[in-house]
Amino acid sequence: MEKIKLFDPVVTRREEFVIKQVLKSRFWAYGGGAGKVLEFERKFNDYTGSKECVAVNNGTSALHLALSLFDIKDKEVILPSLSFVSTANAVIYNGGKPVFVDVDPTTMCIDETHIEESITSKTKVVLPVHFGGFPCNLTQIKKLCKQNKIKLVEDAAHAAGASYNNTPIGSHGNAVCFSFHPVKNLAMPTGGAITLNDENSKNLAKNLKIRCIKNAIQSGMFLSSILDSSKKSQFVHEENARKKCRNWNSLLSNT
């Protein structure tokens, strides 16, 4: 019986070449975001059509850091009952209360009618998950957020390359969180990103990079931790991702 692989990343000579270049440079990581990391941030920002982009070490860190921007301590965050554990953990880690609502059985994404039923005076953020890369009903969700002055943070771990109403995922919510885990569309050994679309996105991006460095110092950058949200941007992975973004549209059209 033939086994179905959990993931099968595309690795060409181009990826091998750029990884060797970074390895030989001896400049592999930097918490402030520079060099190949900065190049990737700009390219992914252009691709998604967002205002700002900050690269991080994984999707869990992206969720944790994005939620930290909106002070959810003792506040409620509405999220779907179907998701990876990191979605809810990021809420709890920031002192918030997860409020689970059911999903639409036809899309497996959060049911927007249940969002409306769950909004209270304590609701600070709606956190939809684009399950399996299938976009949520962002039109209705954004409308509810605007009406109730609630922030929209998207879990787009599965959704790099997806679009909603012909607009790339990454350009809709106040913050959108991506994962580049090997099972994801844009597959790396590790990596993640946050795209920002607030009016003050530039300040938020700067704030994120400061928090990344601060978290690295507090957790012990060279020590193992349960949740390491240091912005240990690894040039090896970011340059690999940057090269893959070059052929992103052709890769998606062939899947």
**Three-class SS of the chain:** CCCCCCCCCCCCHHHHHHHHHHHHHCCCECCCCCHHHHHHHHHHHHHHCCCEEEEECCHHHHHHHHHHCCCCCCCEEEEECCCCHHHHHHHHHCCCEEEEECECCCCCCECHHHHHHHCCCCEEEECCECHHHCCCCHHHHHHHHHHHCCEEEEECCCCCCCEECCEECCCCCCEEEEECCCCCCCCCCCCEEEEECCCCHHHHHHHHHHHHHHHHHHHCCCCCCCCCCCCCCEHHHHHHHHHHHHCHHHHHHCC
pTM for the whole thing?
0.83
And the tokens for 149?
């002055």
Going along the chain from its start, the domains and CATH numbers come out as 30-246 (3.40.640.10)
CB 94 within 8 A of CB 76: no
Each residue's pLDDT expressed in tens, for the chain with a length of 255 residues = 778 777 777 788 988 888 888 888 877 766 566 678 888 899 999 999 999 998 888 999 999 999 999 999 999 999 999 999 999 999 999 999 999 999 999 999 999 999 999 999 999 999 999 999 999 999 999 999 999 999 999 999 999 999 999 999 999 999 999 999 888 888 888 889 999 998 888 888 877 776 665 555 454 443 333 334 444 444 445 555 555 555 555 555 554
Q: Could you say which of 36, 43, 75, 184 is catalytic?
A: 184
Q: Is 184 a catalytic residue?
A: yes
Q: Hey, what's the torsion of the CAs at 151, 227, 35, 70, to 10 degrees?
A: 20
